[in-house]
Amino acid sequence: MALTATAQHDEQVTVEGKYRPKAIKVDKLKLNPEIPQPSYNYPSSEVTPMETKQKFALDLEKIAPTGYAAKNDKLVVPTKNFLMAGIGTRLSPIFLYKHNSMLTKTLGLGVGIKHNSSWLGIKDYAPSSYMNNAFDVNITTSKFDGIQLDAGVFYKNDMYHYYGVNFVETPLTDAEIEQYCPRQTYNTISGHFGLASTSTRVGELSHSGSLDYQYTFDGFGAKEHFVDLDYGLGYTQNWWGDKSHPQKVGLDLGFQYDGFTANEELSNRIFFKVNPFFEMKDEFYRLHLGVRLDGTTANVPEDKFLAVRPDVSGSLFVLNKKLEFYAGVNGGRKLFRFSEIVEENPFLNYSYLPNHSFSVFRSQNVKLGFEAGVRTNIVEIVDLHLGVRYRHTENDQFYVLRYEFADNNAISNKFDLLYDETKTVSVLADMRVKLRNSLTADLGFAYNSCKPTVEEYAWYRPTTEGKLKLTYDFNDKLAFNTTLLYQGGRYALIQDDFDTNWMGWGPEKLKDVFDLSLGADYKVNDQITAFALLDNVAHQKYQLYYNYPVTGIQFFAGVKLRF
């Protein structure tokens, strides 16, 4: 169970922090030694107003690294409780509490609480407000009659009072504000239950399964029930070769149900997956051979689908596993869900939009995916990765403004979904440099060439993304960090759905993202640490979505307690 505290503040946009573009840091695989229980990783020592769930993140963290531990990963002294509390400009509070403990020698308990919200706002563009709350409970067992168990419940509440219109240029009456700028609330209740066998012996079956349920509803009557069932079965045996490197055959099964209701209409979709595979590995290679049969059924005939896709990947290790060459071919379907869409773009409000059509809920189909690259840590102070990606995607999803009119003024605070067939080529690179024990640099870069079949541009998707993060431990008590984010080449489609010529339609290039943040941590003692963050130092008011600029410079401060 992991939670991230976020500080957000509304100055010129409805939701300015949670949905800001961000290139996530590269999280490497950690090979940790045995640590006495209870043990867990704390939330990040950085306090940042930019959520890691933002889909503008670089794709780098999805690439599995080679089998060595990344440098500069610090072990954390186990403790039961972690509390983070602070406040930002305009009285934006932050609160996070996390508890982890062992109820017995094999049964662990985790509890988490999170809150952040806006109390004051600036009205030079348009007033706005938000509040985010989350609560979760999780239990785990390390051994239960040969079975590992993981179960938990989660609740999240998000409130946004957003506008998406400049009141200075487009004055509205109170009645029009209520009509065109509704206060929206999203609630999510979910549960998880997973079981997996603890046996890893050659010649024995291994299995694992999980059941997830999620119920999401908004403030206007839209609701979604989602069920996700997964089961995996594997058998390992020494059919040939070194006994320390057995081969494995397996089968992964998946079933998903998505039921969405709005305007008294119900849409049902079912997704299933059958994925048999064979795996083998040795000191210098790893090979995965499989096929994926998946399909969907839906109310919309165009969304019904059944196909077979490849599932092949492999790696070649040289120089004592310090250099890895990898490649893979894949594909398959993915359901676009209401809960995921409104989390990425809360300005998309299906239950409120007139003339609602369930055809907007489609399933993305990757007809062919290819990836290849190289990873290395030959130089002791550098972890380096270079990769290339290709995706041929049917029903790729984009956002387009919907216009409504009041007193001859265009109100554009709502978005529709648009689908197109795309071919995307991405060149990726990330590097971690440990210059010395106290100074570390993380760099990430991505160049994306997305070519839609019908549309002129891949709306809102950046052509270039970059991140530079520096951390410096001045001494045992004081540490500094700075992060620079960049995105360029983003376009928005400004379209008039009505037969009017004065508004027009066409592409508009959005301002490049240039976001610099400066932070510091001061360790008072082993239990108390003070933090401070100066966010968006350059006071850039770039637009995440059209008519929704982020806030300018902000300041946050608080304390972190471990006990």
For the stretch 354-389, pLDDT in tens is 344 444 677 888 999 999 999 888 877 888 899 999
Contacts of 42 (CB under 8 A, 6+ apart): 76, 82, 98, 562
The Cα-based distances of 51 to 21, 257, 263, 280, 392 in angstroms read 9, 28, 31, 38, 29
- Mean pLDDT of the chain, nearest integer: 76
- On whether residue 48 sits in a domain, the answer given is no
Nearest Cα to 29, choosing from 77, 1, 66, 2?
66
Q: How many CA atoms lie within 13 A of 60 on its CB side?
A: 29
Return the percentage of the chain with pLDDT > 70, whole number.
74
Contacts of 250 (CB under 8 A, 6+ apart): 232, 233, 234, 235, 276, 277, 278, 279
- On whether residue 212 sits in a domain, the answer given is yes
Number of domains in the chain: 1
Domain at 316, CATH number: 2.40.170.20
Domain with 192 in it = 59-562
For the stretch 394-444, pLDDT in tens is 989 898 877 655 544 555 567 888 889 999 999 999 888 887 778 889 888
- On whether residue 3 sits in a domain, the answer given is no
b/e map 158-170, b = 16+ CB within 10 Å: bbbbbbbbeeeeb
In the predicted model, what is the mean pLDDT of residues 448-476? 91
Using the structure block, give the residue that is written with the tokens 């773009």: 345
- On whether residue 429 sits in a domain, the answer given is yes
Contacts of 557 (CB under 8 A, 6+ apart): 86, 87, 88, 530, 531, 532, 533
Q: 178 or 386, which is more confident? A: 386
Quote the CA–CA distance of 531 and 548 in Å, as a whole number. Answer: 29
**What are the structure tokens assigned to 492, written together?**
């928005």
340 — phi, psi (to 5°)?
-70, -35
- On whether residue 1 sits in a domain, the answer given is no
Neighbouring-strand partners of residue 30: none
Q: For the beta carbon of residue 348, count every other beta carbon within 10 angstroms.
A: 19
**What are the structure tokens assigned to 206, written together?**
């291994």
Residue type, 32: N
Residue type, 428: L
For the stretch 518-539, pLDDT in tens is 999 999 998 899 999 888 888 8
- pLDDT beyond 60 at 19: no
- On whether residue 283 sits in a domain, the answer given is yes
| Sign of the torsion formed by the C-alpha atoms of 167, 171, 174 and 177 | negative
- On whether residue 474 sits in a domain, the answer given is yes
- Span of 15-24, 357-366, 494-503 with lowest mean pLDDT: 15-24
User: How high is the pLDDT of residue 290?
Assistant: 95
pLDDT band of 47, cuts 50, 70, 90 = very low
Q: 257 or 25, which is more confident? A: 257
Whole-prediction pTM: 0.79
Nearest Cα to 373, choosing from 427, 448, 322?
427
Q: For the beta carbon of residue 473, count every other beta carbon within 10 angstroms.
A: 16
User: How high is the pLDDT of residue 185?
Assistant: 87
Q: 369 or 496, which is more confident? A: 369
For the stretch 216-235, pLDDT in tens is 998 878 899 999 999 999 99
- On whether residue 40 sits in a domain, the answer given is no
Specify the pairing of strand 464-473 against strand 548-549. unpaired
